[in-house]
Amino acid sequence: MADAIDAIGDALDGASDVPLWSLSDDEVQTLLADAHRLEARVHEVTLRLVAEVDRRELSKRVGAGSTTASLRCELNLTPTAAKQHVTLATALAGPLGLTREALAAGDISRAHAQVVMKAMDTLPSGLGTEALEKAERHLLGWCRRFDPREVARLGRRLFEVVAPEDAEQREAKLLEKQERDAARQRHLAIGSDGFGRHLLRGQFDSESAATIAAALDPLAKPLPSTVEGPDTRTPGQRYADAFVELCRRQLTFGDLPTRGGEKPQVMVTIDLDKLMRSVGSGLLDTGDRLSVAAVRKLACDAQVIPALLGGDGQPSELGRSSRTFTAAQRRALGLRDGSGCAFPECDRPIAWCDGHHIRHWVDGGATDLSNGVLLCCYHHTVIHQGDWIVQMAVDGRPEFLPPGWIDRERRPRRNYLHRIE
């Protein structure tokens, strides 16, 4: 085993220096498929070693309470990944011998092997060796034709293979059990990767997922084409924006419980001089930092709490919060501009919009109708990026100057979707 692993390492050392540009198209495609199969075969060796570590209880030698705990330390794995290693390794070393052989041959991927394990776990006890082998072979056949997600979906019909006479009753019981398990294992967490990106991880039962999808779907539709062209966001980006928009609306218009006697709010701290000069960064109450451009956008239509800082940088006097644009002003802006986002060709309604100061309040701009315009979250960001400029025309309505790459003369444009003139 040691010689084989050393040989694989030596071979990969040679492959790492090969200039891929020198390969033909056919060679690249063939080698990609071969490398994918090799990856599966290496996974099988790794999992077989994990199973042996577990069988010998080697975790006790390093003072760990379990094989999962020792893998976390020795391989620098997350708790979830370490547990998945041990669970799959144990299954392949035990009842799923055919799946281990397929993985060792590179015929299926590790992800496929995990799906096979989960599907086999749904079968009732007492089926017998012949029936279980038949089910496993059927699953492996699907693995060679479909991706892991599709195999998981087909695996729900595994009863029809091993026990067709009462498949419907067994499937109904399985669904009930899966729903109970999913409800019990539900969770949602937000974590940072340390580079300004935050990961939203969660797991829900089917009913809850359907509720979430029903709320997000209308908000995740592509924006209508504008002078900038069609909506370039990916589906994933649209749903991410929809989730934020849903939360923003709930914070603005919803009936959330109070926190510390106040409605929930996003808090950001920044030196007023830095905000006025557009330098530095702001500090969220979560400990994360925001660019000054993002802070200025937030400050357009937010709860603003002035604070006087002492010499040590600690708040010595805290003022009362005030909303820069009141609900009445937002309604008036909507009536003036046609009940929605004023950006050219945008059809987002008032409920989707922030109040934007044409001249920022920190620069001396007044919070009144002559200095305000409603912008949806997407176009609010566009304006703060600085390529487009919004200004008030002589008739008291906002107009937008496109960047030079759209119109060299930067002729003013308006939104005529909300109002016919």
Q: DSSP 3-state assignment of 364?
A: coil
Q: Is the dihedral of CA 306, 312, 314, 318 positive or negative?
A: negative
Q: Which of 100-104, 284-288, 343-347, 357-361 has the highest mean pLDDT?
A: 100-104
pLDDT confidence tier of residue 300, bands split at 50, 70 and 90: low
- pLDDT tens for 210-219 read 888 888 888 8
Q: Which residue has the tokens 């039962």?
A: 205
How high is the pLDDT of residue 350?
Answer: 78
Q: Is the pLDDT of residue 261 over 50?
A: no
d(CA 379, CA 382): 5
Beta bridge partners of 413: 400
Beta bridge partners of 201: 189
The answer to whether the predicted template modeling score (pTM) of the entire model surpasses 0.85 is no
How high is the pLDDT of residue 96?
Answer: 93
d(CA 146, CA 144): 6
How high is the pLDDT of residue 291?
Answer: 76
How high is the pLDDT of residue 109?
Answer: 94
Q: Is the pLDDT of residue 262 over 60?
A: no
Of residues 391 and 299, the one with the higher pLDDT is 391
How high is the pLDDT of residue 421?
Answer: 43
pLDDT confidence tier of residue 18, bands split at 50, 70 and 90: confident
Mean pLDDT, residues 85-102: 94
Q: Which residue has the tokens 């498929």?
A: 33
How high is the pLDDT of residue 55?
Answer: 92
Contact in structure between 371 and 359 (CB atoms under 8 Å): yes
Mean pLDDT, residues 343-355: 81
How high is the pLDDT of residue 377?
Answer: 80
How high is the pLDDT of residue 303?
Answer: 54
How high is the pLDDT of residue 308?
Answer: 42
Lowest mean pLDDT among 156-160, 191-195, 301-305, 343-347: 301-305
d(CA 401, CA 354): 20
Per-position DSSP letters for 165-190, written without gaps between them: GGHHHHHHHHHHHHHHHHHHT-EEEE
Contact in structure between 122 and 174 (CB atoms under 8 Å): yes
Q: Which of 255-259, 303-307, 396-400 has the highest mean pLDDT?
A: 396-400
Angle at 266 between CA 254 and CA 279, to 5 degrees: 145
**91-130 CB burial, b ≥16 within 10 A, e <16:** bbbebbebbbebbbebbbbbbbbbbbbebbebbeeeeeee
Q: Is the pLDDT of residue 95 over 60?
A: yes
How high is the pLDDT of residue 51?
Answer: 94
How high is the pLDDT of residue 40?
Answer: 94
Mean pLDDT, residues 58-75: 85
pLDDT confidence tier of residue 126, bands split at 50, 70 and 90: confident
d(CA 12, CA 92): 26
How high is the pLDDT of residue 265?
Answer: 62
- pLDDT tens for 209-255 read 888 888 888 888 888 776 667 888 888 889 988 888 888 777 766 66
Beta bridge partners of 401: 389
**50-64 CB burial, b ≥16 within 10 A, e <16:** bbebbeeeebeeeeb
